[in-house]
Amino acid sequence: MAHTTPSRRRALFAGSVAVLGLLTACGNADGSSAGPQKVPGPAAPATGGTTTGTAPTTSAPPPGDSTAAPGQGTTRPAAPATTGTTAAGRSSGGTDTAARSTRCHTSELRATVGRNDPGAGQENFPLVLTNSSGRTCTVHGFPGAAFVDSSGRQLGPDPRRNGGSATTVTLRPGQSAWAGLTFSNPEVSGARTAAPASLIVTPPDERDHLTVRWTAGPVPVGGNSSSVFLTVLSPGTAP
């Protein structure tokens, strides 16, 4: 058996260490580099200890979803805004669409007084309201009326309502409704009289009035049998 001296053993150990260092510097046995290396892609190699994690995932787009930009994860688009509805079926965010009133307003009417149809000591005039607007509207019930002088002062009391059942009269443009304006002939009744300049007429449920020139002579304004009467409105222009 060969014996080595201590000096030779030290020389052999140093040589082994040198060879091992050379192999380590050149690479591992599988040919890969021991040090960090750059890999393809936008991310820089890690310089610290190795960490583990989960790669970001993206959800598959719903059918018809095309909002993702190329190369980016798909995001679900915001749901389109919807307008809630009330129990009545009207839009909660919209304007209330309830039907407007169809009542005829004073500005939409023209007033006239028809020809006298006297009988049994009574004077009977049709007071006519005609729809002069471009829309269909309605009148219902009694009109208001009063005789006035040239200065606009009322002559006598307001006419009284003469029974009858009120009905709604629909007036298309150009159509009319009439109410009876009646009083006793002053020459028969002996009532005190006055000669009006005008008759003012107020349509049902309105505040503004219409003015009609009065040309039918004196009317009763006081004393016995001086009341003037009005009937409800009916379709047409005369009885």
pLDDT in tens, 70-124: 333 333 444 444 333 333 333 333 333 223 569 999 999 999 999 999 999 999 9
Model confidence band, residue 66 (pLDDT cutoffs 50, 70, 90):
very low
Q: Is the pTM of this model over 0.75?
A: no
Go through the domains of the chain in sequence order and give each one's CATH number.
Answer: 106-235 (2.60.40.10)
DSSP string for 105-170: PGGGEEEEE-----BTTEEEEEEEEEE-SSS-EEEESPPEEEEE-TTS-EESSPPEE------EEE
Q: Does the pLDDT of residue 224 top 90, yes or no?
A: no
Instruction: Specify the higher pLDDT residue, 100 or 224.
Output: 224
Q: Does the pLDDT of residue 170 top 80, yes or no?
A: yes
| DSSP three-state, residue 91 | strand
Q: What is the pLDDT of residue 53?
A: 37
